[in-house]
Amino acid sequence: MIRRWLGLLIAQVVFRVIVGAIAALIATAVAIAAAPVTLVAIGAFTVAWSRGWPPRRLLLAAAWCAPMVIAWLASRAAGGTGPSGVATLPYHAWITSWQLVRAGSVLHAAAVIAPAAIPLGLLAGALAWTYRIRSLRAGAGGLSPGSAVAFDQRQWRHQVRSARARIAVPGSVPIITPKGAVAVGAVIRSVSHRTGPVAAIGYDRMRSHQVIVGTTGTGKTTLLLRLWAGFMAGGLQRHAAGRSGPPLLVVLDCKGGSDARRIADRVRRVLRDAGARSTAIWPDEASLSLWTLPPRQLTTTLVDLVEHGTGAAAYYTDVMEALIGLAVEAPGGPPLSSQDLLSRLEPGWLGAAYASTGTPADHQLIRSAGKHLADVALRFRTLFRRLGSGFDGQAGFGDADAWYCILEGTDQISVAEGQARALVDLLASFAARSEAGAARREILLAVDEFSAVSRRLPIWQLYERARSLGLAVQVSAQSWQGLGTEPDERNRIASTAEGGVWLLRTPQPEPVTALAGNRTEVSTTRRLRRFPFWAHQGSSGLREVPVVDPSLIRSLDVGQVAYLYRGGVSYIQVKRLVATPAPLSKHSVAEHPATEHAQHSGAQNPASDRQGARAKASQPASDGRRLAPTDLPDVSELLDAAFGPEPSR
């Protein structure tokens, strides 16, 4: 009995070996018989493996061979071969190629069989590569269950190497693609995204909210520059085509310091290459006018700029708001500068201003709140001293293509908070005004480390305001926690980022990676025979795995970013933008005015005739590079001789 059982066991083994050997022999014979196809398939498989290509790329390459095959068949058909001959042409080519090989004409043989062998080889290579990837991803391939992990890591390295080589080619990643999408770099790998070799996002996503998270030194600035340049170039292109208003980029750099100045210079040069005419750097080189805000908005902004308490202190806030309201909305128009406002808070000014035109309620208010006037003036004098001259200029956001606003959020937090609040109010006012106008500008507000100054203006509030005004907001932070103080706030920001989330290397990526959700994957268990040998038998099932692997995010290199969008992710090697060097200025820094760049495209925003006339009346004495009227020689003599004297109104 035992002998019979042992005999059966041996017979089974021998049968399996014989069947396996026969199968191997048949496969080898087929491979040798179809040697040209086999060679191409091996080559395709090797290239795909070494470059980390997805199988789709080999299939595409096979598809691109179709014109060659059609031309080959057509030439043969035209040469006298009938339709039946065309059908058997690959077979005849195969026979001919072997005959040529036997005759020693290997190259000739290759040329004869190439039209059939190349597409078939690519197809076979793609199938083999797909099988390899899927078997390993399912955990069924490889010698051990760990093979899948090693394979994935090796493929990541290959894909990174391939992406780096791609972006190293000059001109391979333009700022915008011919279809108007914003190109960022080369795709390393994508999950649930349809991507090509170049990573590009549609311009419409730049018009939606975006979130960028990445620690210092991971290439965040490089990525931001790319996105800003793409927004500018794409916006200008659309504007030139008459499809939208001109773009406006406003960057709030809430860290400040010398780094901010260096980045601002780089931004200016990069944007200039992207087609931006003027980039104003606030407050170093350009000043905005807070006083162009509508009077009611100006009152609210001014009161909000001053820190005030709650409880009993709220009474003084009300008094302050009432007095500021009176000063701003006084007959004769709102103040033109901080000095003008302070002069209105002098004792007696309000009384005189409202003496003839004020209502009884105004007079009553002036009488009752007048005793606090000196305190209010003191608070605003202190505020204006701390804010500096950045809001007493003549320019508006509409005067430049881009504004880079530097807020000293690290050094002087309370000042930066006030500045941020005022800048956002100014931009909101500008957006609301331009909304009614013909050429509505497409605005992107990019805020870097806004949490540093968001105590008085939470980011989510900024988001909500921006949404209602049609602004796109791009928030960047060094970590998930940097997006907001409360988890709810952070989730609110991230969940409204319709333009996608950019995730660079960060130590705690889980909250962000969770936003991409999960995907279903086949998981296989394998039986351990005896270490280190695993059997290929086991059971498979479906399991949920995260779309974005947090450990991969932690190991991202400099310049690598994961772009999360609609439940998919693309890992991208960002192409650095090299800006042309800045032209040497003919003037010294001292000669440059505070509003130089704003003046390049017009000195101020002419909200109305009245404002313009008032601005003219309050023009500062020195306006730098611009030729002041007094600097110009008088040409009246010539013009009078040619055209007569200047007409009077």
Partner 1 sequence: MIRAGDASGLAAHGSGSKDRAGLDAAGLVFTGEMYGVQLDQLAQVLGVSQRSAIATVSRWVADGLAESARLGPGPRWIWLTKAGLTRCGLPYTAAVPALSRLAHLRAVTATRIALAATPHFTDGQAYWRSERRLRSKFGRRMGLREHLPDAEVHWPDGTPLAWAGECWAIEAELTPKTISRTAEIMREALARTGDYGCSPADVIQPGQPARHARVIYLCSPAARLVVGRSRDTLGALAGRVELRLLPADAQWQQE
Rule CB under 8 A: which residues touch partner 1? 236, 239-240, 242, 246, 268, 272-279, 394, 582-587, 592, 596-597, 599-604, 606, 609, 611-613, 615-616, 619, 623, 625-630, 632-635, 637-639, 641-647, 649
Q: Are 540 and 523 in contact (CB under 8 A)?
A: yes
Closest to partner 1 by CB, 282 vs 450, is: 282
Closest to partner 1 by CB, 270 vs 553, is: 270
DSSP SS3 for 386: helix
Considering the complex, what minimum distance in angstroms separates the CB of residue 438 from partner 1? 9
Closest to partner 1 by CB, 2 vs 642, is: 642
Considering the complex, what minimum distance in angstroms separates the CB of residue 167 from partner 1? 23
Considering the complex, what minimum distance in angstroms separates the CB of residue 580 from partner 1? 9
Query: If DSSP states are collapsed to H, E and C, what string results for 452-470?
Result: HHCCCCCHHHHHHHHHHHC
- Residue 281: burial class (beta carbons within 10 Å; 0-12, 13-18, 19+): buried
**Distances in whole angstroms, Cα of residue 98 to Cα of each of 27, 34, 129, 158, 431:** 19, 10, 28, 37, 74
528-530 and 402-406 as β-strands: parallel, antiparallel, unpaired?
A: unpaired
Considering the complex, what minimum distance in angstroms separates the CB of residue 96 from partner 1? 54
Q: Are 65 and 118 in contact (CB under 8 A)?
A: yes
Q: Rounded distance, CA 395 to CA 636, Å?
A: 30
Considering the complex, what minimum distance in angstroms separates the CB of residue 331 from partner 1? 22
Considering the complex, what minimum distance in angstroms separates the CB of residue 624 from partner 1? 11
Give the DSSP letter string of 504-532: -S-S--HHHHGGG-EEEEEEE---EEETT
Closest to partner 1 by CB, 78 vs 241, is: 241
Of 395, 354, 423, the closest CA to residue 601 belongs to 395
Considering the complex, what minimum distance in angstroms separates the CB of residue 222 from partner 1? 20
Closest to partner 1 by CB, 30 vs 240, is: 240
Considering the complex, what minimum distance in angstroms separates the CB of residue 576 from partner 1? 19
Q: Which residues contact 132 (CB under 8 A, 6 or more apart)?
A: 45, 49, 141
Closest to partner 1 by CB, 52 vs 235, is: 235
Q: Rounded distance, CA 200 to CA 602, Å?
A: 34
How many other C-beta atoms are found inside a 10 Å radius of the C-beta of residue 128?
17
Q: What is the largest CA-CA distance in the chain?
A: 132
- DSSP lists the bridge partners of residue 210 as 474
Phi-psi sector, 411: left (phi>0), alpha (psi -120 to 50), beta? alpha
Closest to partner 1 by CB, 508 vs 601, is: 601
Considering the complex, what minimum distance in angstroms separates the CB of residue 433 from partner 1? 12
Closest to partner 1 by CB, 183 vs 603, is: 603
Q: Rounded distance, CA 484 to CA 497, Å?
A: 14
Closest to partner 1 by CB, 179 vs 649, is: 649
CA atoms within 13 A on the CB side of 210: 31
Closest to partner 1 by CB, 361 vs 641, is: 641
Considering the complex, what minimum distance in angstroms separates the CB of residue 247 from partner 1? 12
Closest to partner 1 by CB, 386 vs 616, is: 616
Q: Are 489 and 450 in contact (CB under 8 A)?
A: no
Q: Rounded distance, CA 230 to CA 219, Å?
A: 17
Q: Please name the residue that has the structure tokens 């020693």.
A: 104
518-524 and 501-503 as β-strands: parallel, antiparallel, unpaired?
A: unpaired
Extract long-range pairs of 331-334: CB within 8 Å, 24+ residues apart: 331/356, 331/357, 331/358, 333/610, 333/614, 334/291, 334/295, 334/298
Q: Please name the residue that has the structure tokens 């406006």.
A: 248
> Which residue type sits at 73?
L
Structure tokens, 91? 């077979």
Q: Are 360 and 389 in contact (CB under 8 A)?
A: no
Considering the complex, what minimum distance in angstroms separates the CB of residue 278 from partner 1? 5
Give the DSSP letter string of 283-332: TTT--BBGGGS-HHHHHHHHHHHS---STTHHHHHHHHHHHHHHHHT-TT
Angle at 475 between CA 470 and CA 477, to 5 degrees: 175
**Distances in whole angstroms, Cα of residue 449 to Cα of each of 184, 304, 501, 508:** 22, 21, 15, 17
Closest to partner 1 by CB, 102 vs 634, is: 634
Considering the complex, what minimum distance in angstroms separates the CB of residue 584 from partner 1? 8
Closest to partner 1 by CB, 361 vs 642, is: 642
How many other C-beta atoms are found inside a 10 Å radius of the C-beta of residue 577?
19
Q: Rounded distance, CA 368 to CA 204, Å?
A: 54
Considering the complex, what minimum distance in angstroms separates the CB of residue 393 from partner 1? 11
Q: Are 245 and 439 in contact (CB under 8 A)?
A: yes
Closest to partner 1 by CB, 155 vs 394, is: 394
Q: Rounded distance, CA 272 to CA 229, Å?
A: 9
Closest to partner 1 by CB, 467 vs 625, is: 625
Phi-psi sector, 271: left (phi>0), alpha (psi -120 to 50), beta? alpha
Closest to partner 1 by CB, 370 vs 606, is: 606
